[in-house]
Amino acid sequence: MKPQFLVACAALLLCFGTNTLLGQKASKAKPVAISKPTPTRTLVYEVNLNDRSDDTFKVRLLVSGLTAANAVYQFAATAPGTYQIMDIGRFVRKFQAFDEKGKEIPCENISVNQWKIKQPEKVVEIRYAIAETFDTPVTRDEIFRMCGSSIEDDHTLFNAHTVIGFPTDMQSTPLKIKFLYPSAWKIGTPLEQDSAGYYYAKNYDFAVDSPVLMGRLTSARTNIKGTAIEIYTYSKTDQISSEQLLGAMSKMLNSAGEFLRELPVKRYTFLFHLENTSAGAWEHSYSSEYVMEERPFTPEYGQSITDIAAHEFFHVITPLNIHSEIIERFNFVKPTASEHLWLYEGTTEWAAHIMQLRSGLKSLDQYLADLSQKTLVDQNYFDRTYSLSKLSLTCYSDSGQKQYGNIYYRGALVAGMLDIRLLELSNGKRGLREVIQELMKKYGPEKAFSEKEFLQEFVKMTYPEIADFFEQYVRKASPLPLREYYAKIGIAYSERKFSDTVQTEAGLKTRLRDGKLTVADFRETLVGSGVEVDDEIRAVNGKTLTSPDNKTFANLTAKFLPSTTYTLTVLRSGKELTLTLPVQTRREERQYVFERSPQAYYRQIMLRNAWLKNL
């Protein structure tokens, strides 16, 4: 997942009687005869989207054979890949259970996410309404929009964990969902539909892993290395179409195919919700969803979407094929953190950019600029004493949430360093890409790795030196030796660097006071020149300021020449003075600069050449 600054989710769903209004009190609801479903261990949900009143989903669940072990109906506390508390039970507006004669069975709300049914063995139907998360205000733990739900007149975004739940002990039970929706709507989802119109999921986890976008959508399709790619787009004012997005992403998708050698899924669905707000994106095993601001389509907008989509698409590797047991059977009741966010998100963010570099979609200079930006954010916006392990294990806490975004910055930087170290130790024959492919073969969608032993397993598969790497840069928050590591591939890194180009300036800082441009500060070299703080600036070289603002002043001083002087006309204590001041010079300072080293040696260039291609 990738929030707009740097994402995630979980979901639920049930049932709703067509003859009982959710707005009625239970005591006034007339019993309605309900046909008893054929006994089955399949949970059958119906979600009424024709009735979109009150911004709520109307849900009904047809079920039979419940026992005391299934007496609690559970809504999601969180969802995989979201790394945030969600408490979906907050959005439930009414919860009811009924027997086969339509008589209501008492239910008790025993916790924020749980409703206990008094006589579960008699239940054949559960009904409730649940509010959408987009437009429902909450006092804390606001849900990421790409992991939430929206129900509007012309579209609906459905994430299962935000709408349906499951009876206890039935998380692994197969389920079917039928949506009742306007006939003109189009549906985009990775779920498969049967002849009766039901969408099937092998269990609750799979349903949560399979978002649905419905409504006034455009669509586009292509095929990458035998994988069917589908794009569905809701664009509020029709500025963006699925065909445009496919055009922007097609080269990236092909480069992903080359990077991975073969795609581990036969079908993949992109869902785009383009409206008023940019929130980010959320990955799934066979799909990804994007909530972004709708704008006119430009090359820059297309590249922005491509970078995010490259990240989410790579999640078909992590965590679909490489994940711990914590991810394999997710705990929707109590959030349980995995230590390996560096793998799920950091490595994915690294791969999203390196695969574009290796395919020629990004130049080396563009890639190095991305590294510079990630370093700047890591160094200036997050707590540098917070290790990746600590960030991962505290991601559900308030303190961890403040640091979570750095997984896309420090996490990606650490993955890049790991790639270089592996290439160095293998003499350019085996980098992080190759180890990931080996991990895919060793594990896979149906085989999880050990949460506690994975780092040791990784070391056994690679080199003893990697143990110290993990200890220093994953489990500890040791300063990243970026200069040392990138020197190995002939890339020079400087925390601060001044440009060779000399630029001229007045040497003054200005501010607007009472509608007048005044001197706020000046260079030390101008001390004794006659200028004073709070002087009102009237003219430069005899040209009067037509407007008292910094832009006008900058235009008058932009063409100064080095080693010359300029005149500054100021008003001080009601008296106009003309001062002659020396033109000042400066060199532009850049931070966290990565660039090709002109002093690189042969072995560094050889390792760089290996780094620049898919081995």
Reported confidence tier of residue 13, pLDDT bands at 50, 70, 90? very low
Higher pLDDT, 559 or 271: 271
Q: Encode pLDDT of 521-552 as tens digits.
A: 999 999 999 999 999 999 999 999 988 887 88
| Residue 4: per-residue pLDDT | 53
| Residue 7: per-residue pLDDT | 34
Domain coordinates in residue numbering, the chain? 2-213, 217-303, 328-475, 507-582
The residues pairing with 232 across neighbouring beta strands, listed in sequence order, are: 219, 271
Please state, in angstroms and rounded to a whole number, the distance separating the CA atoms of residues 501 and 615. Answer: 40
Q: Are 205 and 330 in contact (CB under 8 A)?
A: yes
Q: Are 353 and 373 in contact (CB under 8 A)?
A: no
| Residue 393: per-residue pLDDT | 93
Residue 139 identity? T
Class of domain 2-213: mainly beta
Reported confidence tier of residue 294, pLDDT bands at 50, 70, 90? very high
Longest Cα–Cα distance in the chain: 97
CA 302, 304, 310 angle in degrees (round to 5)? 95
Please state, in angstroms and rounded to a whole number, the distance separating the CA atoms of residues 383 and 402. Answer: 9
Mean pLDDT of 494-505: 86
What residues contact 132, with CB distance under 8 A and at least 6 apart? 55, 56, 57, 91, 148, 149, 150, 151, 162
Mean pLDDT of 372-387: 95
Q: Encode pLDDT of 102-114 as tens digits.
A: 999 999 999 999 9
The residues pairing with 497 across neighbouring beta strands, listed in sequence order, are: 590
Higher pLDDT, 76 or 503: 76
Mean pLDDT of 341-346: 92
| Residue 10: per-residue pLDDT | 28
Please state, in angstroms and rounded to a whole number, the distance separating the CA atoms of residues 136 and 69. Answer: 33
| Residue 319: per-residue pLDDT | 77
Reported confidence tier of residue 16, pLDDT bands at 50, 70, 90? very low
Give the range among 14-18, 271-275, 437-441 with minimum mean pLDDT. 14-18
Q: Encode pLDDT of 423-434 as tens digits.
A: 999 999 999 999
Q: Encode pLDDT of 33-53 as tens digits.
A: 444 443 347 899 999 999 998
| Residue 2: per-residue pLDDT | 62
Q: Which ranges of 261-363 would DSSP assign to H, the alpha helix?
A: 299-314, 325-328, 341, 348-358
CATH architecture of 507-582: Roll (2.30)
Q: What is the mean pLDDT of the chain?
A: 90
Radius of gyration of the chain from its Cα atoms, rounded to whole angstroms: 30
Mean pLDDT of 390-404: 91
Q: Which of 144, 46, 136, 39 minimizes the C-alpha distance to 89?
A: 136
* Sheet strand arrangement including 72-74: 107-111, 114-117, 72-74, 166-167
Please state, in angstroms and rounded to a whole number, the distance separating the CA atoms of residues 119 and 99. Answer: 9
Q: Which CATH number fits domain 217-303: 3.30.2010, 3.40.1580, 1.25.40, 1.10.1060?
A: 3.30.2010
Question: Does residue 24 carry a pLDDT above 60?
Answer: no
Question: Does residue 435 carry a pLDDT above 50?
Answer: yes
Whole-structure pTM value:
0.74
184 C-beta neighbours (distance < 10 Å), count: 8
The residues pairing with 504 across neighbouring beta strands, listed in sequence order, are: 585
Q: Encode pLDDT of 563-612 as tens digits.
A: 999 999 999 999 999 999 999 998 888 899 999 999 999 999 999 999 99
| Residue 327: per-residue pLDDT | 77
Please state, in angstroms and rounded to a whole number, the distance separating the CA atoms of residues 33 and 19. Answer: 10
| Residue 579: per-residue pLDDT | 96
Q: Encode pLDDT of 295-311 as tens digits.
A: 999 999 999 999 999 99
Give me the CATH code for the 328-475 domain, please.
1.10.390.10
Mean pLDDT of 556-569: 92
Mean pLDDT of 508-513: 91
Mean pLDDT of 217-228: 94
Question: Does residue 18 carry a pLDDT above 60?
Answer: no
CA 581, 583, 586 angle in degrees (round to 5)? 140
| Residue 502: per-residue pLDDT | 85
| Residue 12: per-residue pLDDT | 25
